[in-house]
């Protein structure tokens, strides 16, 4: 009796921490799904790595989103969508999902900051991932090259590092690194840092930080581990900055699926195949927005897909039959 009493609260706590729906990516696709799942009383969490890390969040002006006649920045539009989802009870956390276990009734997502469990998962990570790497990047991955300061900053205590990127994610990761490193070169490919002004001000005021604007990363150099980064300032000569670590947050145009570790099959173009209710091949796992194949890359389309998936998830979690054909 005593034993069962002591076990019961643990089980209840575990149940308490398991969400009905975990959504990876808080762009228009993920946030619209959250509005509908939260409003359907499903316990919903949205995990997003940064407001300006997605396609909409980084867009300077949107004029064609229905119901928003005045031009707004993409970040403002995403922010409004997130507030709407929060009003219905959706929880938003800033974290980057690094790996997942999607099989089974309870799915597990590992982020840099925490682990999340849910009975259904929506993948809405967009297509701002990179395909092509710079020379040396793959060779020194895990030996000085990193994509996660939260995970790896402590290895660079009192060392010199480079952070490469221009969005909120890059700046936040750089700010985290400043607590550990002796010096940080912020290599920004654009002519200004395209992140929240308060974050940029905090970074540039830090005496450990040197910002190099309009500068491209050409290669990561090393000998067993990273020894430097080769950079090219616009209109100037290439130079090698001696560093022990290179944290890279550049964007491209490839679906972001690296955290899946091959658990879902991808099309030759690297996107996630889904059926007409946005179900992937694993039950309880859905994909919406720019991360899927045959998709028109517009915010309103991504939002609509999020809504269709949310309605399908409600049916899935309540054991109701879909009106559509099954994957098989």
Ligand X SMILES: Cc1cc2nc3c(=O)[nH]c(=O)nc-3n(C[C@H](O)[C@H](O)[C@H](O)COP(=O)(O)OP(=O)(O)OC[C@H]3O[C@@H](n4cnc5c(N)ncnc54)[C@H](O)[C@@H]3O)c2cc1C
Catalytic residue set: 148, 151-152
Q: Rule CB under 6 A: choose which of 23, 55, 162, 200 binds ligand X.
A: 55
150 is an interface residue for ligand X by CB under 6 A: no
With 0-12 CB in 10 A as exposed, 13-18 as middle and 19+ as buried, what is 218?
middle
Q: Rule CB under 6 A: choose which of 21, 22, 23, 24 binds ligand X.
A: 24
27 is an interface residue for ligand X by CB under 6 A: yes
Q: How far is the CB of 300 from ligand X (least distance, A)?
A: 6
Q: Which is nearer to ligand X, 14 or 261 (CB)?
A: 261
Q: Which is nearer to ligand X, 42 or 121 (CB)?
A: 121
54 is an interface residue for ligand X by CB under 6 A: yes
Backbone angles phi, psi at 307, to 5 degrees: -70, -45
Q: Which is nearer to ligand X, 221 or 305 (CB)?
A: 305
25 is an interface residue for ligand X by CB under 6 A: yes
263 is an interface residue for ligand X by CB under 6 A: no
Q: Rule CB under 6 A: choose which of 22, 23, 34, 62 binds ligand X.
A: 62
Beta bridge partners of 115: 110
96 is an interface residue for ligand X by CB under 6 A: yes
124 is an interface residue for ligand X by CB under 6 A: yes
Q: Which is nearer to ligand X, 4 or 60 (CB)?
A: 60
30 is an interface residue for ligand X by CB under 6 A: yes
Q: How far is the CB of 131 from ligand X (least distance, A)?
A: 15
Distance CA 119, CA 18 (A): 7
Q: Rule CB under 6 A: choose which of 17, 80, 234, 297 binds ligand X.
A: 297
Distance CA 24, CA 120 (A): 11
Q: How far is the CB of 59 from ligand X (least distance, A)?
A: 4
Q: Rule CB under 6 A: choose which of 21, 28, 38, 248 binds ligand X.
A: 28
- Give the DSSP per-residue string, 131-194: -SPPTTTTTTBTTTEES-HHHHGGGGTT-EEEEEE-SHHHHHHHHHHHTT-SEEEEE-SSSS--
Distance CA 121, CA 309 (A): 10
Q: Chain centroid to CA 269: how far?
A: 20
Contact residues for 181 (Cβ-Cβ < 8 A; gap 6+): 153, 156, 157, 158, 159, 160, 161, 208, 245
Tokens of 314: 């409600």
Residues 272-291 that bind ligand X (CB under 6 A): 289-290
Contact residues for 319 (Cβ-Cβ < 8 A; gap 6+): none
Distance CA 127, CA 270 (A): 10
CB atoms within 10 A of CB 39: 17
Residue numbers of the site for ligand X (CB under 6 A)? Answer: 24-30, 47-50, 53-57, 59, 62, 64-65, 96-97, 124-126, 128, 256, 259, 289-290, 297-300, 302
């Amino acid at each position: 009796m005593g034993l069962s009493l002591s076990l019961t609260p643990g089980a209840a706590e575990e149940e308490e921490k398991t969400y009905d729906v975990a959504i990876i990516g808080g762009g228009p696709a993920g946030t619209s799904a959250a509005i509908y799942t939260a409003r359907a009383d499903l316990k919903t969490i949205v995990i997003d790595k940064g407001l300006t890390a997605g396609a909409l969040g980084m867009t300077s002006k949107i004029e064609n989103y229905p119901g928003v006649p005045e031009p707004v920045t993409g970040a403002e539009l995403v922010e409004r969508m997130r507030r709407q989802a929060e009003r219905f009870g959706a929880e938003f956390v800033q974290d980057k999902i690094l790996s997942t276990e999607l099989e089974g009734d309870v799915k597990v997502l590992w982020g840099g900051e925490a682990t999340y469990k849910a009975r259904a998962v929506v993948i809405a990570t967009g297509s701002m991932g990179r395909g092509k790497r710079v020379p040396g990047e793959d060779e020194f991955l895990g030996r000085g090259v990193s994509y996660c300061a939260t995970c790896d900053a402590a290895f660079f205590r009192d060392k010199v590092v480079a952070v490469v990127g221009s969005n909120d994610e890059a700046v936040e990761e750089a700010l985290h690194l400043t607590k550990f490193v002796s010096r940080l070169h912020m290599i920004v490919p654009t002519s200004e840092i395209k992140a929240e002004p308060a974050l940029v001000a905090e970074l540039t005021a830090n005496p450990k930080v040197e910002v190099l604007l309009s500068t491209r990363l050409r290669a990561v150099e090393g000998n067993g581990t990273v020894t430097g980064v080769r950079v090219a300032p616009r209109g100037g000569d290439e130079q090698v900055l001696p560093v022990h670590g290179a944290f890279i947050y550049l964007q491209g145009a490839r679906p972001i699926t690296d955290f899946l570790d091959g658990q879902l099959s991808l099309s030759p173009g690297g996107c996630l195949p889904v059926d007409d209710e946005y179900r992937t091949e694993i039950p309880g796992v859905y994909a919406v927005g720019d991360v899927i194949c045959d998709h028109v890359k517009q915010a309103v389309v991504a939002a609509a897909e999020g809504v269709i998936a949310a309605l399908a998830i409600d049916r899935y979690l309540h054991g109701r039959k879909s009106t559509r054909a099954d994957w098989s």
